[in-house]
Amino acid sequence: MPSPHVHGLHHVTCIAGDPQENLDFYTKVLGMRLVKKSINQDAPDTYHLFYADAAGSPGTDLTFFPWPEAAPRRHGVGMTNEVMLAVPAGSLAWWRARLDEQKVRRGEETTRFGEKTLPFTDPHGLELALVEISEPRPFVAWERSSVPADRQIRGFHAVRLWVRDPAPTVRLLLDVMGLAPVGNDDGWQRFGVGGRSGTLIDVKAFPDERRGVWGLGSVHHVAWRVSDTDEEMSVRAAVEASGLHPTPQIDRFWFRSVYFKEPGGALFELATDGPGFGIDEKMEALGESLVLPPWYESQRTEIEAGLPPLRN
Protein backbone atom coordinates (compact mmCIF):
# COMPACT_ATOMS: atom_id res chain seq x y z
CA MET A 1 0.00 0.00 0.00
CA PRO A 2 1.52 3.33 -1.01
CA SER A 3 1.60 6.04 1.61
CA PRO A 4 -0.17 8.44 2.15
CA HIS A 5 -3.59 7.09 1.32
CA VAL A 6 -7.31 7.31 2.09
CA HIS A 7 -9.11 4.60 4.07
CA GLY A 8 -12.48 4.46 2.36
CA LEU A 9 -15.65 6.52 2.04
CA HIS A 10 -16.26 9.05 4.85
CA HIS A 11 -19.55 10.71 3.85
CA VAL A 12 -21.52 11.52 0.72
CA THR A 13 -23.38 14.81 0.39
CA CYS A 14 -26.36 15.16 -1.93
CA ILE A 15 -29.01 17.67 -2.96
CA ALA A 16 -32.59 17.03 -1.84
CA GLY A 17 -35.96 18.72 -2.17
CA ASP A 18 -38.33 19.37 0.72
CA PRO A 19 -36.42 18.79 4.00
CA GLN A 20 -39.35 17.11 5.79
CA GLU A 21 -39.77 14.60 2.93
CA ASN A 22 -36.02 14.01 3.01
CA LEU A 23 -36.05 13.45 6.79
CA ASP A 24 -39.05 11.12 6.63
CA PHE A 25 -37.53 9.00 3.88
CA TYR A 26 -34.11 8.47 5.43
CA THR A 27 -35.32 7.97 9.00
CA LYS A 28 -38.72 6.29 8.61
CA VAL A 29 -38.27 4.31 5.39
CA LEU A 30 -34.53 3.55 5.50
CA GLY A 31 -34.30 3.59 9.32
CA MET A 32 -31.17 5.71 9.54
CA ARG A 33 -30.52 8.03 12.49
CA LEU A 34 -30.58 11.80 12.05
CA VAL A 35 -27.21 12.47 13.72
CA LYS A 36 -26.88 16.17 13.00
CA LYS A 37 -29.28 18.95 12.10
CA SER A 38 -27.26 21.94 11.03
CA ILE A 39 -27.13 24.55 8.29
CA ASN A 40 -25.13 24.92 5.13
CA GLN A 41 -22.12 26.87 6.41
CA ASP A 42 -22.05 28.84 3.17
CA ALA A 43 -25.85 29.43 3.00
CA PRO A 44 -27.42 29.65 6.49
CA ASP A 45 -31.00 29.69 5.15
CA THR A 46 -30.53 26.04 4.11
CA TYR A 47 -30.45 22.98 6.36
CA HIS A 48 -27.65 20.46 6.31
CA LEU A 49 -29.06 17.11 7.46
CA PHE A 50 -26.89 14.10 8.30
CA TYR A 51 -28.13 10.47 8.44
CA ALA A 52 -25.92 7.66 9.69
CA ASP A 53 -25.66 4.73 12.07
CA ALA A 54 -26.37 5.37 15.76
CA ALA A 55 -22.86 6.74 16.41
CA GLY A 56 -22.45 8.73 13.19
CA SER A 57 -19.46 6.54 12.36
CA PRO A 58 -17.28 7.67 9.44
CA GLY A 59 -18.35 5.63 6.42
CA THR A 60 -22.06 5.61 7.32
CA ASP A 61 -22.99 9.23 6.89
CA LEU A 62 -25.25 10.37 4.03
CA THR A 63 -25.85 14.13 4.17
CA PHE A 64 -28.19 16.49 2.32
CA PHE A 65 -28.63 20.10 1.43
CA PRO A 66 -32.39 20.45 0.91
CA TRP A 67 -32.88 22.94 -1.92
CA PRO A 68 -36.54 22.48 -2.96
CA GLU A 69 -36.29 25.24 -5.57
CA ALA A 70 -33.35 23.58 -7.39
CA ALA A 71 -33.86 22.22 -10.91
CA PRO A 72 -33.64 18.43 -11.30
CA ARG A 73 -30.13 17.05 -11.77
CA ARG A 74 -28.94 15.72 -15.07
CA HIS A 75 -26.88 12.53 -15.07
CA GLY A 76 -23.70 12.74 -17.06
CA VAL A 77 -19.95 12.52 -16.93
CA GLY A 78 -18.01 14.23 -14.17
CA MET A 79 -20.65 13.18 -11.65
CA THR A 80 -21.14 10.55 -8.99
CA ASN A 81 -24.49 9.20 -10.14
CA GLU A 82 -25.30 6.47 -7.64
CA VAL A 83 -24.66 5.67 -3.98
CA MET A 84 -24.66 2.03 -2.84
CA LEU A 85 -25.51 1.20 0.77
CA ALA A 86 -24.52 -2.05 2.49
CA VAL A 87 -27.13 -4.28 4.10
CA PRO A 88 -26.60 -7.63 5.87
CA ALA A 89 -26.51 -10.86 3.87
CA GLY A 90 -29.96 -12.35 3.49
CA SER A 91 -31.85 -9.09 4.08
CA LEU A 92 -32.52 -7.96 0.51
CA ALA A 93 -35.88 -9.72 0.13
CA TRP A 94 -37.05 -8.01 3.34
CA TRP A 95 -35.86 -4.66 1.99
CA ARG A 96 -37.57 -5.23 -1.36
CA ALA A 97 -40.87 -5.84 0.43
CA ARG A 98 -40.33 -2.76 2.61
CA LEU A 99 -39.58 -0.50 -0.36
CA ASP A 100 -42.71 -1.79 -2.12
CA GLU A 101 -44.86 -1.29 0.96
CA GLN A 102 -43.55 2.29 1.21
CA LYS A 103 -44.15 2.83 -2.55
CA VAL A 104 -40.49 3.58 -3.24
CA ARG A 105 -39.49 3.66 -6.91
CA ARG A 106 -37.13 0.73 -7.41
CA GLY A 107 -35.47 -1.32 -10.12
CA GLU A 108 -35.15 -5.08 -10.35
CA GLU A 109 -32.75 -7.04 -8.18
CA THR A 110 -29.49 -7.59 -10.02
CA THR A 111 -25.96 -8.88 -9.44
CA ARG A 112 -22.95 -6.59 -9.55
CA PHE A 113 -19.44 -7.85 -8.84
CA GLY A 114 -21.14 -11.04 -7.63
CA GLU A 115 -23.18 -9.13 -5.02
CA LYS A 116 -26.98 -9.04 -4.77
CA THR A 117 -28.02 -5.47 -5.48
CA LEU A 118 -31.36 -3.65 -5.41
CA PRO A 119 -31.39 -0.22 -7.10
CA PHE A 120 -33.96 2.37 -6.02
CA THR A 121 -34.59 6.11 -6.10
CA ASP A 122 -35.26 8.50 -3.22
CA PRO A 123 -38.26 10.90 -3.34
CA HIS A 124 -36.16 13.63 -4.98
CA GLY A 125 -34.43 11.56 -7.65
CA LEU A 126 -31.22 10.44 -5.93
CA GLU A 127 -30.19 7.02 -7.25
CA LEU A 128 -29.29 4.54 -4.55
CA ALA A 129 -28.85 0.80 -4.27
CA LEU A 130 -28.84 -1.69 -1.42
CA VAL A 131 -26.11 -4.32 -1.64
CA GLU A 132 -25.91 -7.47 0.45
CA ILE A 133 -22.50 -7.83 2.03
CA SER A 134 -21.15 -11.14 3.24
CA GLU A 135 -18.54 -9.87 5.72
CA PRO A 136 -19.76 -8.20 8.91
CA ARG A 137 -18.44 -4.65 9.32
CA PRO A 138 -18.16 -2.22 12.23
CA PHE A 139 -21.50 -0.52 12.80
CA VAL A 140 -23.51 0.81 15.73
CA ALA A 141 -27.19 -0.17 15.60
CA TRP A 142 -29.81 2.52 16.27
CA GLU A 143 -32.19 1.05 18.81
CA ARG A 144 -34.95 3.61 18.06
CA SER A 145 -34.84 2.85 14.32
CA SER A 146 -37.95 1.79 12.41
CA VAL A 147 -35.76 -0.99 10.94
CA PRO A 148 -34.69 -3.94 13.12
CA ALA A 149 -30.97 -3.97 13.98
CA ASP A 150 -30.28 -7.14 12.00
CA ARG A 151 -31.55 -5.43 8.81
CA GLN A 152 -30.20 -1.90 9.32
CA ILE A 153 -28.03 -0.23 6.72
CA ARG A 154 -24.37 -0.80 7.63
CA GLY A 155 -23.05 2.29 5.87
CA PHE A 156 -21.77 2.98 2.38
CA HIS A 157 -20.82 0.13 0.12
CA ALA A 158 -19.61 1.98 -2.99
CA VAL A 159 -20.21 5.01 -5.19
CA ARG A 160 -20.51 5.04 -9.00
CA LEU A 161 -18.71 7.68 -11.02
CA TRP A 162 -19.20 8.39 -14.72
CA VAL A 163 -16.25 9.85 -16.61
CA ARG A 164 -15.52 10.58 -20.26
CA ASP A 165 -11.95 9.28 -20.02
CA PRO A 166 -11.17 7.02 -17.06
CA ALA A 167 -7.36 7.09 -17.31
CA PRO A 168 -6.62 10.30 -15.33
CA THR A 169 -9.24 9.47 -12.68
CA VAL A 170 -7.86 5.95 -12.29
CA ARG A 171 -4.33 7.34 -11.90
CA LEU A 172 -5.59 9.61 -9.09
CA LEU A 173 -7.34 6.74 -7.31
CA LEU A 174 -4.34 4.41 -7.56
CA ASP A 175 -1.27 6.62 -7.40
CA VAL A 176 -2.43 9.54 -5.27
CA MET A 177 -5.24 8.22 -3.06
CA GLY A 178 -3.73 4.75 -2.65
CA LEU A 179 -6.72 2.64 -3.69
CA ALA A 180 -6.18 -0.74 -5.36
CA PRO A 181 -8.03 -2.36 -8.30
CA VAL A 182 -10.76 -4.73 -7.15
CA GLY A 183 -12.17 -6.01 -10.44
CA ASN A 184 -14.26 -5.33 -13.53
CA ASP A 185 -17.95 -5.95 -14.11
CA ASP A 186 -20.25 -4.84 -16.93
CA GLY A 187 -17.86 -2.08 -18.03
CA TRP A 188 -17.29 -0.80 -14.50
CA GLN A 189 -13.83 -0.78 -12.94
CA ARG A 190 -13.89 -1.08 -9.16
CA PHE A 191 -11.25 0.31 -6.79
CA GLY A 192 -11.02 0.18 -3.01
CA VAL A 193 -9.03 -0.54 0.12
CA GLY A 194 -8.54 -4.27 0.57
CA GLY A 195 -11.68 -4.74 -1.56
CA ARG A 196 -13.78 -3.99 1.54
CA SER A 197 -17.37 -2.74 1.58
CA GLY A 198 -17.38 0.96 2.43
CA THR A 199 -14.14 1.71 0.59
CA LEU A 200 -15.28 1.16 -3.00
CA ILE A 201 -15.66 3.35 -6.05
CA ASP A 202 -16.83 2.11 -9.45
CA VAL A 203 -15.70 4.06 -12.52
CA LYS A 204 -17.13 3.70 -16.01
CA ALA A 205 -16.26 5.40 -19.30
CA PHE A 206 -19.08 7.20 -21.12
CA PRO A 207 -17.02 8.76 -23.94
CA ASP A 208 -19.98 10.32 -25.77
CA GLU A 209 -21.99 11.39 -22.75
CA ARG A 210 -22.53 15.08 -21.94
CA ARG A 211 -21.48 16.70 -18.69
CA GLY A 212 -23.78 16.02 -15.75
CA VAL A 213 -25.38 18.90 -13.90
CA TRP A 214 -25.97 19.28 -10.16
CA GLY A 215 -29.59 19.61 -9.06
CA LEU A 216 -32.35 17.86 -7.16
CA GLY A 217 -31.36 14.26 -6.62
CA SER A 218 -27.67 14.61 -7.43
CA VAL A 219 -24.61 13.75 -5.42
CA HIS A 220 -22.82 16.98 -4.55
CA HIS A 221 -19.56 15.42 -3.38
CA VAL A 222 -17.94 12.26 -2.09
CA ALA A 223 -15.71 12.50 0.99
CA TRP A 224 -12.85 10.07 1.67
CA ARG A 225 -11.54 9.08 5.08
CA VAL A 226 -8.17 10.18 6.40
CA SER A 227 -7.14 9.45 9.99
CA ASP A 228 -6.11 12.93 11.10
CA THR A 229 -4.77 16.29 10.00
CA ASP A 230 -1.25 14.96 9.36
CA GLU A 231 -2.53 12.33 6.99
CA GLU A 232 -4.96 14.78 5.39
CA MET A 233 -2.17 17.25 4.67
CA SER A 234 0.03 14.46 3.23
CA VAL A 235 -2.72 13.32 0.88
CA ARG A 236 -3.49 16.97 0.07
CA ALA A 237 0.16 17.51 -0.91
CA ALA A 238 0.04 14.44 -3.17
CA VAL A 239 -3.18 15.69 -4.79
CA GLU A 240 -1.57 19.07 -5.43
CA ALA A 241 1.63 17.47 -6.77
CA SER A 242 -0.50 15.53 -9.25
CA GLY A 243 -1.61 18.83 -10.80
CA LEU A 244 -5.01 19.19 -9.12
CA HIS A 245 -6.14 22.13 -7.01
CA PRO A 246 -7.09 21.20 -3.43
CA THR A 247 -8.54 23.85 -1.09
CA PRO A 248 -6.86 24.70 2.20
CA GLN A 249 -8.05 22.64 5.15
CA ILE A 250 -11.50 23.83 6.32
CA ASP A 251 -12.81 23.17 9.85
CA ARG A 252 -16.25 21.52 9.67
CA PHE A 253 -16.27 20.95 13.50
CA TRP A 254 -17.17 17.27 13.24
CA PHE A 255 -14.27 16.72 10.84
CA ARG A 256 -11.69 18.74 8.88
CA SER A 257 -12.05 18.95 5.15
CA VAL A 258 -10.07 19.51 1.97
CA TYR A 259 -11.94 19.68 -1.35
CA PHE A 260 -10.74 19.11 -4.90
CA LYS A 261 -12.13 18.16 -8.29
CA GLU A 262 -10.95 14.82 -9.60
CA PRO A 263 -9.72 14.93 -13.21
CA GLY A 264 -13.11 13.81 -14.57
CA GLY A 265 -14.80 16.79 -12.91
CA ALA A 266 -16.53 15.25 -9.86
CA LEU A 267 -16.06 16.94 -6.48
CA PHE A 268 -14.11 14.96 -3.88
CA GLU A 269 -13.32 15.78 -0.27
CA LEU A 270 -10.83 14.46 2.25
CA ALA A 271 -12.34 14.34 5.75
CA THR A 272 -10.71 13.39 9.05
CA ASP A 273 -12.24 10.59 11.11
CA GLY A 274 -12.47 12.86 14.15
CA PRO A 275 -13.52 14.62 16.22
CA GLY A 276 -16.98 13.29 15.27
CA PHE A 277 -20.60 14.24 15.88
CA GLY A 278 -20.34 13.99 19.68
CA ILE A 279 -18.16 17.13 19.80
CA ASP A 280 -21.12 19.52 20.18
CA GLU A 281 -24.04 17.33 21.31
CA LYS A 282 -24.52 14.44 23.72
CA MET A 283 -24.43 11.14 21.80
CA GLU A 284 -27.93 10.22 23.05
CA ALA A 285 -29.31 13.54 21.78
CA LEU A 286 -27.61 13.72 18.37
CA GLY A 287 -29.72 15.52 15.78
CA GLU A 288 -32.33 16.75 18.24
CA SER A 289 -31.47 20.44 18.18
CA LEU A 290 -30.23 22.79 15.48
CA VAL A 291 -26.45 23.02 15.71
CA LEU A 292 -24.91 26.23 14.38
CA PRO A 293 -21.29 27.12 13.71
CA PRO A 294 -20.15 29.47 16.53
CA TRP A 295 -20.03 32.53 14.27
CA TYR A 296 -23.76 32.13 13.52
CA GLU A 297 -24.82 31.61 17.17
CA SER A 298 -25.57 35.34 17.67
CA GLN A 299 -28.06 35.12 14.76
CA ARG A 300 -29.77 31.94 16.01
CA THR A 301 -33.25 33.48 16.34
CA GLU A 302 -33.26 34.86 12.78
CA ILE A 303 -31.73 31.67 11.34
CA GLU A 304 -34.27 29.41 13.04
CA ALA A 305 -37.11 31.68 11.88
CA GLY A 306 -35.84 31.41 8.30
CA LEU A 307 -35.78 27.60 8.24
CA PRO A 308 -38.89 25.47 7.67
CA PRO A 309 -39.96 23.55 10.80
CA LEU A 310 -38.90 19.87 10.88
CA ARG A 311 -40.63 17.08 12.81
CA ASN A 312 -38.51 14.04 13.60
Residues that bind Zn ion (CB under 5 A): 13, 223, 269
Select 158 or 219, whichever has its Cβ closest to Zn ion.
219
Shortest distance (Å) from residue 259 CB to Zn ion: 8
In 143-264 the beta strands, taken as DSSP E runs, fall at 155-163, 180-185, 188-192, 200-205, 219-226, 250-251, 256-261
Looking at residue 79, its amino acid is M
Q: Whole-angstrom Cα distance, residue 57 to residue 54?
A: 8
Cβ 156 to Zn ion shortest distance, Å: 13
Please state the closest distance from residue 159 (CB atom) to Zn ion, in A. Answer: 13
Would you say 13 or 117 has its CB closer to Zn ion?
13
Minimum Å gap between C-beta 219 and Zn ion is: 11
CB closer to Zn ion out of 29 and 35: 35
CA dihedral for 85, 90, 92, 96, sign (positive or negative): negative
**Nearest to residue 268, comparing CAs of 236, 311, 300, 297?**
236
Nearer to Zn ion among residue 91 and residue 218 (C-beta): 218
Helices (H), 203-271: 229-241
- Cβ proximity to Zn ion: between 36 and 112 the closer is 36
Exposed, middle or buried, 32 (CB in 10 Å: 0-12/13-18/19+)? buried
**How do beta strands 127-133 and 79-88 pair?**
parallel
Beta carbon of residue 250, minimum distance to Zn ion (angstroms, whole number): 10
How far is the C-alpha of 33 from the C-alpha of 137, rounded, in Å? 18
Q: Cβ 221 to Zn ion, closest distance in Å?
A: 6
Question: Which of residues 209 and 280 has its CB atom nearest to Zn ion in the complex?
Answer: 280
Q: In this complex, which beta carbon is closest to Zn ion, that of residue 95 or of residue 254?
A: 254
Helices and strands of the chain, counted as H and E runs = 5, 16
Taking the C-alpha atoms of residue 209 and residue 165, their distance in angstroms, rounded to an integer, is: 11
For the bound state, the minimum distance from the C-beta of residue 223 to Zn ion, rounded and expressed in Å, comes to 4
CA dist list (Å): 238 to 8, 163, 221, 235:
17, 22, 20, 5
- Of 21, 112, 127, which is closest to residue 74 (Cα–Cα)? 127
Contact 36, 289 (CB under 8 A): no
What is the closest distance, in whole angstroms, from the C-beta atom of residue 104 to Zn ion in the complex?
25
Q: Of 8 and 119, which CB lies nearer to Zn ion in the complex structure?
A: 8
